[in-house]
Amino acid sequence: MTAPTAPSVSAPSTAVAAAGTTTASPAPTRTSGAVGTPHTRLEGRLKVTGAARYAGEVPFAELAHGWLVTSTVARGRIRSIEAEPVLAMPGVLTVLHHENAPRLTPGVGMMGPDATLQVLQDDRVPHVGWPVALVVAETLEQAREAAEALVVAYDAEPHDAVFHAGHPGMYTPEPSRYVLPDSDKGDVEAELGASAVVVDEEYTTPQEYHSAMEPHAAVARWENGRLEAIDSNQGSHAVAQDLAKLFSLDAASVRVRSEHVGGAFGSKGTIRPHLLLAVMATTVLDRPVRVVLTRRQMFSLVGSRPATAQRVRLGADSDGRLRALDHEARTFSSTVHEYVEQSTRHSRIMYAADALRTRTKVVRLDVPTPAFMRAPGWAPGSFAVESAMDELAEKAGMDPIALRSRNEPEAGPVSGLPFSSRNLIACFDEGARRFGWTDRDPRPRARRDGRWLLGTGMAAAAHSAGTAPSTASITAGADGAFTVRIAAADIGTGARTALTQIAADALGAPPERVRVKIADSDFGPAFLAGGSMGTASWAWAITEAAAALGEKLALVDQIPAEGITARADTSELVSGRQPRESNAFGAQFAEVSVDVASGEVRVRRMLGIFAVGRVVNPLTARSQLVGGMTMGLSMALHEEGIRDTASGGLANADLAGYHVAANADVPVIEAGWVDDPDTYNPSGIKGLGEIGIVGVAAAIANAVWHATGVRHRDLPIRLDRVLTAGTAIENGGAVTH
């Protein structure tokens, strides 16, 4: 059995050699200024030359290949699986299904008991695309052909797979760590009644999919009594922990690595079925097994952003001061597991209002289980609230920025907690200056370029800036180099590079002498690359480890051959902080052109200005923000999962049918940031992986209104919707094609 040949990232050997071999006297309190300096990705060359191996590419001797078979009915039971004919096909090694698959421990889940992990455990089919069998064969082609030949019979039951706001099954979910309680401050009805200007509208967002470039993939094998897996995920340690629990293994006997990950956006944040199935198969066959999901399978097995239907009511005095903000968000989850999209998060921190009311309701449908997707809650919630604020500005005859600025809260509107920092106004000012907002004519339908009507719009953005406990270790080598070990993940963001810069400054060493090893569960607990919390959480642990190492090094004259290692665990530091309302903020601007005769909408330019704390690597930070804004453009104009009522399946479960923005859709996008000092996390980092998408859809929808005079309250702003609405002035105005 050969070892995997995944390359690791290492500092240039010349730099290490030049550093000498005997004594090193690092001064970990000194910074070397790496943070804040643009740095290309350390693994960039490996990636662009194809040398970086992803989970589905790592070669193994004796590798067997699993191909997943998924359900074709939306609700029911498996009546029979005819495995015998398939087992006789060339190369087929086994067919795993609910009657013969290894048993899993129930009740396991990173965020509470998660029944989506209980694959091949019973005959229940909860939605189209649920795993019903894994066919394993000598080659990928044999596995695939056999999987396609496998006959599965079902006893189908009537299904209910279509979400709508008026669904009778709506209920209020129980508050938990992941479900915010409904909030009530003041008397919304009374304040609305006393308001000079009122907006009361409904907004909808469709089901959206992460659509990471790299499909979910895993290889698993048993090696010297240890279960080893190479997996595509956002947090190797948490995945290894859940894997151990599910298979009733000692945690120390499971190792998960995820050296390179090709995008995730939340879909790889928790353990996913491809890894469980690979582990089942390697356990049964005692040889390495790889399982890679197809694109179509990704549409049913790795989560989605669920659709939302949101009613927003705003009431204000004639000068724009908010009296009432009422936000009711409805969404869905599956019958398997309750995931609740927290669309009211935006309204809970954004504006001061005398009365503030939020409600969340959810209905369980016979559909795949939704999940966190880039800026969960924030992205759909900001579309509704920031669209409504634009409508309020129009009704009040106010500039949209002035309206927002007037309603800046002193403290968290719901929590009452002080903000750790809040530099939203600075984002407005800088954004307005760079975008040229101050010269804007507020009237709609007033600009034209040939067949295109032109308009501009803006929206505010926010995202929570959290920190979670993590551990890290740093070893000072006898050669003068440092090796950092932390179970962080680089999902394409540049995390490995950013952590190298952070460690270099913490150690007072040039980045060339610092090697950061990540994505290995053996490195100990670390938060996942998610929630915009990864870099901030990891940075704190690395900084603490560097300080501890400095103390150790101060006591020795010479570093022994095995090096000197220091560890840090930030659990107590993180939990010992005073509670704060800690968020990143931003201002989004967009200019669009609309041809109402064809329904085409094109974004001409976008600008986002953000307050995201300390920026570690301006190069990759900009990429993250521009990437988020691009995803927001895609959310505004393109992305929409379309459920087929009759079958309960998705009618467009591939990237030909599920459109994400193409290069031609993406115009000049500029992203920048303002000074945002904040030491709530001592690294000063707030995280910026998600805020780029927040508010973009509203900014674009507001710009489409400015161009055409028509409000589009349903995403995406499809050409048929634009064409049908034309330039109709609301309340029965004439259509003027």
Partner 1 sequence: MREFGYKRATDVPEAVALLATDPEARFLGGGTNLVDLMKTGVESPALLVDVRGLPLDRIEVADDGALKIGATVTNSDLAADPEVRRRYPALTEAVLAGASGQLRNMATVGGNLLQRTRCGYFGDTAQPCNKRVPGSGCPALAGEHHNHAILDWSEHCVATHPSDMGVALAAFDAVVSIHTADGPAELPLSEFYLPVGDTPHRENALPPGALITGVTLPAAPVAARSRYRKVRERASFAFANGSIAAALDVEDGTVRDVRLAFGAVASRPWRARKAERALTGGPATAEAFAAAADAELAAAEPLAHNGYKVPLIRNLVVAMLTELTQEAAR
- Residues near partner 1 (CB under 8 A) are 72, 128, 141, 144-145, 148, 296, 451, 597-600, 602, 637-638, 642, 644-647, 649, 651-654, 656-657, 659, 661-665, 718-720, 723-724, 737
- Please say whether the beta carbons of 346 and 383 come within 8 A: no
Q: How far is the CB of 312 from partner 1 (least distance, A)?
A: 27
Task: Provide φ and ψ at 332, rounded to 5°.
Answer: -135, 160
CB of 703 to partner 1, least distance (A): 16
Contact 654, 296 (CB under 8 A): yes
d(CA 642, CA 626): 27
- The whole-angstrom separation of Cα 601 and Cα 111 is 40
| Cβ distance to partner 1 smaller for residue 447 or 659 | 659
- DSSP for residue 588: E
Task: Determine contact, residues 188/357, Cβ cutoff 8 Å.
Answer: yes
Nearest distance, CB of residue 604 and partner 1, angstroms: 12
Token pair of 201 as six digits: 């509208």
Q: Which residues contact 578 (CB under 8 A, 6 or more apart)?
A: none
Q: 394 or 640, CB closer to partner 1?
A: 640
Q: Give the start-end residues of each E strand in 150-240.
A: 151-156, 183-185, 197-205, 217-223, 226-231
How many beta carbons lie within 10 A of that of residue 408, not counting itself? 13
Tokens matching residue 72? 């074709």
CA 318 to the chain's CA centroid: 39
User: Shortest gap between Cβ of 606 and partner 1 (angstroms)?
Assistant: 15
Torsion sign over Cα 10, 16, 17, 23: negative
DSSP structural state of residue 728: P
Query: In the complex, what is the shortest distance from the CB of residue 170 to partner 1, in angstroms, rounded to a whole number?
Result: 25
The pair of three-digit structure tokens given for residue 524, joined into one six-digit string? 């100990």
Unique residue bearing structure tokens 């009740």: 107
Neighbours of 158 (CB within 10 A): 9
Q: Which is nearer to partner 1, 600 or 714 (CB)?
A: 600
Residue 520 main-chain phi, psi, to 5 deg: -140, 120
Query: Between residues 45 and 451, which has the closer beta carbon with respect to partner 1?
Result: 451
Q: Which amino acid is at 689?
A: G
CB nearer partner 1, residue 406 or residue 605: 605
CB nearer to partner 1: pick between 61 and 656: 656
Strand order in the sheet with 183-185: 183-185, 355-365, 322-334, 308-316, 197-205
**465 vs 446: CA distance, rounded Å:** 40
Distance CA 719, CA 638 (A): 10
d(CA 174, CA 326): 20
In whole angstroms, give the CA distance from residue 43 to residue 46. Answer: 5
**Among residues 213 and 252, whose Cβ is nearest to partner 1?**
213
Kindly state the smallest distance separating residue 633's Cβ from partner 1, in Å: 10
- Please list, residue by residue across 283-312, b when 16 or more beta carbons sit within 10 angstroms of its beta carbon and e when fewer do: bbbebbbbbbbbeebbbbbbbbbbbbbbbb
Q: Which two tokens stand for residue 27?
A: 């001064």
Q: Which two tokens stand for residue 271?
A: 């353990």
| Between 608 and 716, CB nearer to partner 1 | 716
Residue closer to partner 1, measured from CB, 40 or 598: 598
Q: What is the DSSP string of 632-687?
A: HHHHHHT--B-B-TTT-SBTT-STTTS----GGG--EEEEEE------SSTT-B--
Eight-state DSSP code of residue 513: G
Please state the closest distance from residue 211 (CB atom) to partner 1, in A: 14
Catalytic, 189? Answer no
153: helix, coil or strand? strand
Residue 447 or 604 with smaller CB distance to partner 1:
604
Question: Nearer to partner 1 by C-beta: 35 or 137?
Answer: 137
Task: Return the residue matching tokens 């090696």.
Answer: 223
Catalytic member of 214, 430, 581, 690:
690
CA distances from 97 to 133, 219, 275, 361, 508 (A): 5, 19, 15, 35, 55
Shortest spacing between CB 197 and partner 1, in angstroms: 34
Closer by beta carbon to partner 1, 109 or else 206 = 206
The CB-of-549 to partner 1 minimum distance in angstroms stands at 50
The distance in angstroms from the start CA to the end CA of the chain is 70
How many C-beta neighbours within 10 Å does residue 361 have?
19
Beta bridge partners of 222: 227
Compute the least distance from the CB of residue 299 to partner 1, in Å: 11
Whole-angstrom distance, CA of residue 546 vs CA of residue 56: 35
User: Minimum Å distance from CB 141 to partner 1?
Assistant: 6
Closer residue to partner 1 (CB): 88 or 656: 656
Parallel, antiparallel or unpaired: strands 217-223 and 289-292: antiparallel
Residues 535 and 547: their CA atoms lie apart, in Å, by 18
Compute the least distance from the CB of residue 49 to partner 1, in Å. Answer: 20
CB of 708 to partner 1, least distance (A): 15
- Active-site positions read 690
